[in-house]
Amino acid sequence: MLLQRFIKHRRVAGALCLMLMLTACAGSGQPRESGESARTTAADIVIDGDPTALAIPAAALTLFEQATASMAGGDLLDAELRFKEFLLQYPDYPGAYVNLAIIHANNGNDEAAGAAVDSALRLAPNHAAALNQMGMLLRRNGKFLEAEAAYLKAVTVSPDYALAHYNLGVLNELYLQRLDQALQHFEAYQAIVGEDEQVEKWITDLTRRVAANQRTANVAE
């Protein structure tokens, strides 16, 4: 049962990462969590999250959109090259580094992924998507408490960042064995994204298990 749940978590996390690369990379603002590709306009994108900075010109925006389209289509090599070309022109744009980190992580290159995340966080220390990606890398390397700290910072700076709540639910249930906290974060995720049938099943199961643990604790007392 636990192994099946772990596999399901991995599959859902992969789907959410696909959403992330399309929606969470428009600077340091709050991401849009949606199953649809988010269309970003030049007016939405600023350098380093500064609303007074100049918007990225249309030509560069087109390159960014082409990169995310390649990424969504599974052509990670083309996406990587396009993001790198974009960063040659606009090296102060943290979202592009986050997307590169996702690509490197999918390719199993955690060292390159970590370097890309570090670049994003140097530009924008409170970039929620970068913090979330850092947490994912730390979790993959068995650094569960450090991963938790990164996820918690992400939801502190962006309380409606659904993906970080989801990852906190996974971390607390499967790795830290904190069922009550896992339940809280899955409920927060569900409240943000709306109806997710799979997560709703996990919430029901966790509610039952938390109640059973509480009954056992009361008997022991």
> How many domains, the chain?
1
* The pLDDT of residue 123 is above 80: yes
Per-residue pLDDT at 144 exceeds 80: yes
pTM of the model as a whole: 0.77
Asked whether residue 38 carries a pLDDT value surpassing 80, the answer given is no
Average pLDDT over every residue of 93-100: 92
Domain assignment present for residue 221? The answer is: no
208 is a domain residue: yes
Answer yes or no: is 31 within a domain: yes
What is the domain-level CATH number for residue 145? 1.25.40.10
Q: Which of 80-89, 112-121, 152-161, 209-218 has the lowest mean pLDDT?
A: 209-218
State yes or no: pLDDT of 176 exceeds 50: yes
Q: Does residue 85 form part of some domain?
A: yes
Domain holding 159, by residue range, is: 2-216
Alpha helix ranges (H) inside the chain? 2-23, 58-72, 76-89, 94-106, 110-123, 128-140, 144-157, 162-170, 179-193, 197-220
